[in-house]
Amino acid sequence: MLNLNETHEPNLQSWVRSANDGVSDFPIQNLPFASFRSKDTDTFRGGVAIGDQIVDLLLLSEADVLPGDARQALLAAAKPELNDFMAMGPAAWSTLRLALSRALREGSALESSVRPCLVSQANVEYQLPCRITDYTDFYTSVHHATAVGSLFRPDNPLLPNYKWVPIGYHGRASSIGVSGQSFPRPLGQLKGPDEDVPTLAPSKRVDYELEMGVFIGPGNDPGSPIPMLEAENHVFGMCLFNDWSARDIQAWEYQPLGPFLAKSFASTISPWIVTLEALAPYRLAFSRPGGDPQPLPYLSSEQNEKAGAMDIQLEVLLQTADMKAKGDAPESLSRSNFKYSYWTVAQMVSHHSVNGCNLQPGDLLGTGTQSGPAETECGSILELSHGGKQPVQLANGETRIFLEDGDTVILRGFCEKPGAVRLGFGEVAGTVLPARNII
């Protein structure tokens, strides 16, 4: 479990003034990583966000001004993909983060050397921050699982295993894109309850899922499970994640093996990975409701109970094609919080590897839809519309049961509490396009 250190000091200010305004997602206490390039260059490279700027780590490595103990980590983080840096582990991550923090602080002697390495975020484009070697999606929100289960099994919404095992499935890494991703409405087999045979057609029930993404750092050898006490040493950081779903395709195909084409057409992540170290001030105690079974011993630890949960506030916004045409801002649909997760990040990692599965640097774990207990905390439109039975009313007069062509969904996330500096994840946006011609 990461402890607070000088990089978390609330009074730290940066010579990059935009990082000090109290509303930026990227104060000096954050320093998340991404892969970017300036619009006038051809090469992607690693970068660190500070206010409305990015520290170009390739330029910084060429300037050769950071202390020697951070040099190897900086060279790895400057590459177009962060996998090599992720594989180096917590000591290297922390060393580079500390060196960057000191270089960017108000009064730093390195200001004149680092300032030429800054690039405006307004003038860049992003790619996936790393090569995503594999992808697994979990189902960690008991509120989402209950709400969805109630649509199909009103008398027994949660299956018997839910409170005992972190449920997940192996997804498709090739269709994961970075914020700004757009995709055609997926085709698949559809079969209504009153229809005799299925048909191939565009999905009529495209949905978003408000999730967090967890990026793995160092992996484990095949056959060597990761114990709870070591689990977070294998986690590089977290991002926002929208795991788009085609609910009608899913309803027909998911039995007996689970999600397939309903999930593999697109998933979208935010470009910035916030490190676990940056999130240290926002850790919370983890506990189960009274009467629920306690996790099995391999999913339990004192440190997980003390600070396994995370206070990350989440929001879903929708901007329809009509809103865009009229210049209207996106409308907020719901807010939730990752603290409601029924399983922690450490439990996901430990369970994933307990059978001997070998994780790798750059693996992505989705947390599953993060819904809260209140009606206003739904993490999908499936829940907001009660399975498509109650249209969601928008302020401009439009309604939605599920997503329509031209809809852009935006997810945002941030951490905020008294005594700590607000930090955020940026945002992840994606757009549904019209379906392509049927085969």
Which positions ≥6 away from 325 have C-beta within 8 Å? none
Query: Does the pLDDT of residue 135 top 80, yes or no?
Result: yes
Q: Which of 8, 143, 144, 234 is catalytic?
A: 144
Query: Does the pLDDT of residue 397 top 70, yes or no?
Result: yes
**pTM (two decimals):** 0.97
The residues facing 319 across adjacent strands are 408
CB 425 within 8 A of CB 274: yes
Q: Which of 56-65, 250-259, 409-418 has the lowest mean pLDDT?
A: 250-259
DSSP 321: H
**Average of pLDDT values for 292-316?**
97
Cis peptide preceding 186, ω within 30 of 0: no
Give me the sign of the Cα torsion angle 387, 390, 394, 398.
Answer: positive
CATH of 135-433, one of 3.40.50.300, 3.90.850.10, 1.10.520.20, 3.90.1150.10: 3.90.850.10
DSSP 252: H
CB 424 within 8 A of CB 49: no
Residue type, 145: A
Q: Answer yes or no: same fold for 6-127 and 135-433.
A: no
3-class DSSP assignment, residue 128: coil
Q: How confident is the model over 15-36, as pLDDT tens digits?
A: 999 999 999 999 999 999 999 9
Residue type, 248: D
Percent of the chain with pLDDT over 90: 94
Q: How confident is the model over 80-94, as pLDDT tens digits?
A: 999 999 999 999 999
Report residue 41's pLDDT band, with 50, 70 and 90 as the boundaries: confident
Q: How far apart are CA 296 and CA 302, in angstroms?
A: 13
352 has catalytic annotation:
no
Q: How confident is the model over 239-293, as pLDDT tens digits?
A: 999 999 999 999 999 888 889 999 999 999 999 999 999 999 999 999 999 999 9
Q: What are the extents of the domains in the chain?
A: 6-127, 135-433
Candidates 51, 55, 53; CA nearest to 25 is 51
Q: How confident is the model over 105-116, as pLDDT tens digits?
A: 999 999 999 999
Is pLDDT larger for residue 104 or for residue 154?
Answer: 104
Which positions ≥6 away from 117 have C-beta within 8 Å? 55, 56, 57, 59, 60, 63
Name the H helices within 164-237.
Answer: 228-231
6-127: CATH topology is SH3 type barrels. (2.30.30)
pLDDT of residue 2: 72
Q: How confident is the model over 199-239, as pLDDT tens digits?
A: 999 999 999 999 999 999 999 999 999 999 999 999 999 99
CA distances from 74 to 46, 57, 413 (A): 9, 7, 27
* Token pair 């997940």 in the structure block, residue: 168
pLDDT of residue 112: 98
pLDDT of residue 39: 84
CB 398 within 8 A of CB 236: no
Percent of the chain with pLDDT over 70: 100
**Average of pLDDT values for 73-79?**
98
- Strands 45-50 and 53-56, bridge-based pairing: antiparallel
Give the gyration radius of the chain's Cα atoms. Answer: 22
Candidates 72, 73, 33; CA nearest to 56 is 33
Candidates 95, 259, 290, 100; CA nearest to 169 is 259
pLDDT of residue 1: 58
Q: How confident is the model over 354-392, as pLDDT tens digits?
A: 999 999 999 999 999 999 999 999 999 999 999 999 999
Q: How far apart are CA 350 and CA 335, in angstroms?
A: 29
